[in-house]
Amino acid sequence: MKFLSIILSIVSMLVGCMSCTPSPENVLQADEPLLIYPDYKDVSIPVNIAPMNFLLRNEGVEALYVIVRAEKDSLEYKTRGNKVKFPMAKWKKLLESARGETLTVEVIARQRKGWKRFSNFNWQVMPDSIDPYITYRLIEPGYEVWNALQLVERNITNFEERVIADNKLCEERCMNCHIHGNNSGDLSLFHLRGKNGGTILNRNGELRLLDLKNNRMVSAAVYGDIHPGGRYGVFSSNIIIPSFHSYGNRRLEVFDTVSDLAIADFDKNEMLISPLTSDSTVLETFPTFSADGKYVYYCAAPNLPVPDSIREVRYSICRIGFDSRKGEWGSKVDTLWNAEEKQASVCLLKASPDGKYLLYTVADYGTFPIWHRETDLQMMDLETGRIDTLKMVNSNRSETYHSWSSNSRWFVFASKRGDGQYGRVYVAYIDKNGEVFKPFVIPQSDPENDDLNLKSYNIPDISATPVPFDAKKIQRFYRQHMPEQFK
């Protein structure tokens, strides 16, 4: 009975706090702009996205009254303080009723001199859903700490988040390059480096630890992609060197001295090598399969002496065929984007699932764009060759790792546009005509989380379903298995 009495007292206090939240009166029009974080003004959002919670950065905000209006429904929210955190159930109901409509957001704030009404802004609710799960690596934004990191899977239709791999549970091994095949949680992989490490492949819930290397490769698999059929993976094999410098705003450079490509046959435990993509005079890296699996797109540059010539190392976009029935590379390499003509360098290629577009990152030189402030995303129409510079998406900070939703209507990417140090995950919409709209950072249950979280969200990769493992399962698996060898 005592416990019940305590619960009732708490409920009564909460109800009392809600009821005493002041309501607007004598409202005046604000003569200052509305300053909100995140910048959710006039963005297009998925019909299944989590509540777009935000906070006001205007000075002296003591209370808020917010109305989100649809044609036939609305959502009212009032609170003390400067944070807007919409109730999940009411938010979901509103979005479903407003599918394909434009929501109008009205913000009224009480400041020291009374209530002020700010200019409205809009949310366009797109009828296209986004794949719910984004996996990212939480890591320090610098270069001196890599042994404290996690792979985290976040459901962006709500605020559920879980750790799926933790290097504290795996002898502090570096974990990287996590990817999904077919946007599926039942087809994925990531590398676990160090002694007895390898690539952890997940196919249909079965985990395997693979040593993706043979005696013709310069290293084990690094950057890669999974074939749509699930039997193959394409990877680069790189000797990677870090270099510190003070050139411009770039504090760290990472470059290859050697890099080739190989395709892994997961069924035969065999690495397939082509002389066309293992040329010692050429650096080949960042391979990805086309949507139909018939081609491999990759980045290629002349092998120049580095670090002295690092600012002259520029990568082009190349393409070579692949026959998955025979397990054979093609016999011809095509250049789709010439780095010398563009006087720029590409990396991080990703083909849209519908086969229409190739999304990639462009920098002045090299293939390590994280600390390159000039780094932007671009998109190539694979039918026409037309290039969209994505002015609506890019900022004056680096835009890098990206991933497509399975319906090809949304893509996510990492950006340092907030403060130049911490990477955050952004979402952008692309319509059926190829027009790309203003991006927004993924919502948080507390809109102040991005201010307080001192980790970067690194390499966001999107999936329609969750992976069938967690950090504890990965720990047990790593301890109990030795890596399978490949020939």
Do 161 and 180 sit in the same domain of this protein?
Answer: yes
pLDDT band at 256 (very low <50, low <70, confident <90, very high): confident
Extract the runs of DSSP E, i.e. beta strands, from 156-231. Answer: 161-166, 175-181, 184-192, 198-203, 206-211, 221-226
Bridge partners (DSSP) of residue 116 are 28, 109
Do 78 and 141 sit in the same domain of this protein?
Answer: no
pLDDT band at 251 (very low <50, low <70, confident <90, very high): low
Which pLDDT does position 12 carry in this prediction?
Answer: 40
Over 90: is that where the pLDDT of 333 sits? yes
DSSP-based three-state secondary structure for 378: strand
Which pLDDT does position 18 carry in this prediction?
Answer: 45
Do 114 and 156 sit in the same domain of this protein?
Answer: no
Which pLDDT does position 247 carry in this prediction?
Answer: 54
| Cβ–Cβ under 8 Å, residues 404 and 359 | yes
Judge whether 381 lies within some domain: yes
> Structural domain tally of the chain?
2
**Arithmetic mean of pLDDT, 50-68:** 97
Do 388 and 266 sit in the same domain of this protein?
Answer: yes
Burial of 484: CB neighbours in 10 Å, binned 0-12, 13-18, 19+: middle
Q: Which range, 12-26, 42-56, 162-176, 444-458, is most confident?
A: 42-56
Which pLDDT does position 372 carry in this prediction?
Answer: 78
Give me the helices (H) in 366-462, please.
449-452
Do 91 and 207 sit in the same domain of this protein?
Answer: no
| Cβ–Cβ under 8 Å, residues 342 and 389 | no
Domain-terminating residue out of 126, 147, 176? 126
User: Residue 248, Cβ neighbours under 10 Å: how many?
Assistant: 11
- % residues pLDDT > 70 (the chain): 92
Over 80: is that where the pLDDT of 19 sits? no
| Cβ–Cβ under 8 Å, residues 269 and 275 | no
Do 120 and 137 sit in the same domain of this protein?
Answer: no
Over 80: is that where the pLDDT of 240 sits? no
Which pLDDT does position 1 carry in this prediction?
Answer: 43
The pTM score is 0.92
**Residue among 130, 172, 132, 126 nearest 156 (CA):** 132
Give me the helices (H) in 133-246, please.
none
DSSP symbol at 436: B
Q: Which of 42-56, 119-133, 300-314, 439-453 has the lowest mean pLDDT?
A: 300-314
Over 90: is that where the pLDDT of 337 sits? yes
Per-position b or e across 50-71, b if 16+ CB within 10 A of its CB: bbbbbbbebeebebbbbebbbe
Domain-terminating residue out of 126, 152, 171? 126
Using CA atoms, how far apart are residues 316 and 476, in angstroms rounded to an integer? 42
Do 169 and 298 sit in the same domain of this protein?
Answer: yes
Using CA atoms, how far apart are residues 186 and 153, in angstroms rounded to an integer? 14
Judge whether 140 lies within some domain: yes
Do 106 and 149 sit in the same domain of this protein?
Answer: no
Using CA atoms, how far apart are residues 78 and 210, in angstroms rounded to an integer? 54
Domain-terminating residue out of 126, 157, 179? 126
Q: List the domain range (segments joined by +) for residue 83.
A: 26-126
Q: What is the CATH number of the domain that holds 79?
A: 2.60.40.10
pLDDT band at 245 (very low <50, low <70, confident <90, very high): low
Burial of 383: CB neighbours in 10 Å, binned 0-12, 13-18, 19+: exposed
Do 288 and 340 sit in the same domain of this protein?
Answer: yes
Q: Which amino acid is at 359?
A: L
Do 256 and 312 sit in the same domain of this protein?
Answer: yes
**Residue among 448, 457, 426, 454 nearest 85 (CA):** 448
pLDDT band at 142 (very low <50, low <70, confident <90, very high): low
Q: What is the CATH number of the domain that holds 161?
A: 2.120.10.30
Judge whether 415 lies within some domain: yes
Which pLDDT does position 360 carry in this prediction?
Answer: 98
DSSP-based three-state secondary structure for 18: helix
